[in-house]
Amino acid sequence: PQTDIVFLKVHKSASSTVMNILFRFGETHNLTFAFPLGGGFQLYYPHHFMARFVQGFSPKSPQRFNILCHHMRFLQPEVQKVVPSSAVYFSILRNPVQLMESSFMYYKGSSAFSHVRNLEEFLSQPHLYYNPTKGDSNYAKNLMTFDFGFNPNAEVSAERVQLMVKAIEASFDFLLISEYFDESMVLLKEMLCWDLDSIVSFPLNTRDSSTKSSLSDSVVEKIKEWNRLDWEIYTHFNRTFWERIDRDIGRERMEREVRALQERQAELVRTCLQGTGSVAPKEIKDSSLRPLQHGGARILGYNLKQGLDKETEHMCRRLVTPELQYSSALYKKQFPPVPP
């Protein structure tokens, strides 16, 4: 199994669920994480990543970490300073239409979105509300382009798109697609030589459907146009995702593997959870399992069954622990507080 991993955690793309998978794998195998300084949750995002943002990194004695997976704006020469040269690089993309709808709800308080009633109003005259010089403008245009380290406001041309795609392909071993999450997990398992239980998960950081808005065809087209660089990146890698599956796994085996994954997840739902799935934040009984609520989104969570044996309870709890709580616990384990 591969144990040296760089995951570029692209915003609003099921990346919190992937992060939970990496947290569990790292914890099980006693791996080290490249944590943000002081145990924060982002590597000084939206600045480009620097090695010195990592707790425990020192240029004098460069310690290498196994897993780098917290939010960052990608800059490979700096990333290479903190992970072994053998590290596998991957990321996840999401259809820019759904991505923008999600980003609008989640970052409703950002400078570009705070003065409009809805996404339609923003897209009718985006330049009225969007100011590229504002520090939080990245949430409002070509968010994936930005996270990969490129200029989200660059002119769209065939040459630029080709350069960006080539640069991503040169840096990353593979990209997952959040619309095909189960297939993505099977591909991840294949590429990292992991076992089935390493890639099972429950969806984390997902929104209550009451805060999701349906989009008209004209709004969809406007989103694609406004996020043209993201759209080009997404369509390219959505295509190569399936080419890779045909080449490395084959559709028939993929179907079998997805079925096995879904059956295992259904089994874990029956084992671990009260009810059949996620619940609204106010219904989460254990406050340590309550995810951070943000913007206009209502983030769902889980209730564990009572009376589980110790080992099962530990496994189930790790599956449903929200990102911030899990990150803090792993940070304390890796950097135990010094007693006074």
Asked whether residue 302 is domain-assigned, the answer is yes
337: tokens are 């507080």
Please answer whether residues 223 and 100 qualify as being in contact, where contact means their C-beta atoms are separated by less than 8 angstroms: yes
Alpha helices in the chain (DSSP H): 15-28, 76-79, 96-106, 119-124, 126-129, 143-147, 158-171, 181-192, 196-199, 217-226, 228-248, 251-272, 310-320, 323-334
Q: In sequence order, what DSSP letters do the residues of 232-243 get, joined into one string?
A: HHHHHHHHHHHH
Asked whether residue 215 is domain-assigned, the answer is yes
pLDDT-based confidence at residue 252 (cuts at 50, 70, 90):
very high
List, in order, residues 6 or more apart from 193 with CB less than 8 Å away: 1, 2
In this model, does residue 219 exceed pLDDT 90?
Answer: yes
Strand, helix or coil for residue 175:
strand
So what's the pLDDT on residue 189? Answer: 98
Q: What are the backbone dihedrals phi and psi of residue 313, each rounded to the nearest 5 degrees, phi first?
A: -60, -40
Q: What are the backbone dihedrals phi and psi of residue 258, each rounded to the nearest 5 degrees, phi first?
A: -65, -40
List strands edge to edge, sheet with 174-177.
67-68, 5-8, 88-93, 174-177
Gap between the Cα atoms of 340 and 36, Å rounded:
23
In this model, does residue 208 exceed pLDDT 90?
Answer: no
Please answer whether residues 323 and 204 qualify as being in contact, where contact means their C-beta atoms are separated by less than 8 angstroms: yes
So what's the pLDDT on residue 276? Answer: 84
Calculate mean pLDDT across residues 240-250: 97
Nearest to 204 by CA among 2, 51, 9: 9
In this model, does residue 339 exceed pLDDT 90?
Answer: no
So what's the pLDDT on residue 82? Answer: 97
Task: Report CA dihedral (55, 56, 58, 63) to the nearest 10 degrees.
Answer: -120
In this model, does residue 155 exceed pLDDT 80?
Answer: yes
The domain in which residue 153 lies consists of 5-108+142-334
Asked whether residue 69 is domain-assigned, the answer is yes
So what's the pLDDT on residue 147? Answer: 98
Mean residue pLDDT of the chain comes to: 96
Calculate mean pLDDT across residues 131-159: 97
Q: How many structural domains are present in the chain?
A: 1
Q: Which residue has the tokens 């020192």?
A: 58
So what's the pLDDT on residue 340? Answer: 83
- For residue 30, give the CATH number of its domain: 3.40.50
Calculate mean pLDDT across residues 3-13: 97
pLDDT in tens, 186-206: 999 999 999 999 999 999 999
- Full-model pTM: 0.96
So what's the pLDDT on residue 243? Answer: 97
pLDDT in tens, 115-127: 999 999 999 999 9
Q: Which residue has the tokens 């409002």?
A: 140
Asked whether residue 339 is domain-assigned, the answer is no
So what's the pLDDT on residue 162? Answer: 98
Asked whether residue 193 is domain-assigned, the answer is yes
So what's the pLDDT on residue 63? Answer: 84
pLDDT-based confidence at residue 213 (cuts at 50, 70, 90):
confident
So what's the pLDDT on residue 207? Answer: 87
pLDDT in tens, 73-109: 999 999 999 999 999 999 999 999 999 999 999 999 9
Asked whether residue 130 is domain-assigned, the answer is no
Of residues 209 and 99, the one with the higher pLDDT is: 99
Asked whether residue 115 is domain-assigned, the answer is no
Asked whether residue 51 is domain-assigned, the answer is yes
So what's the pLDDT on residue 211? Answer: 73
Please answer whether residues 233 and 164 qualify as being in contact, where contact means their C-beta atoms are separated by less than 8 angstroms: yes
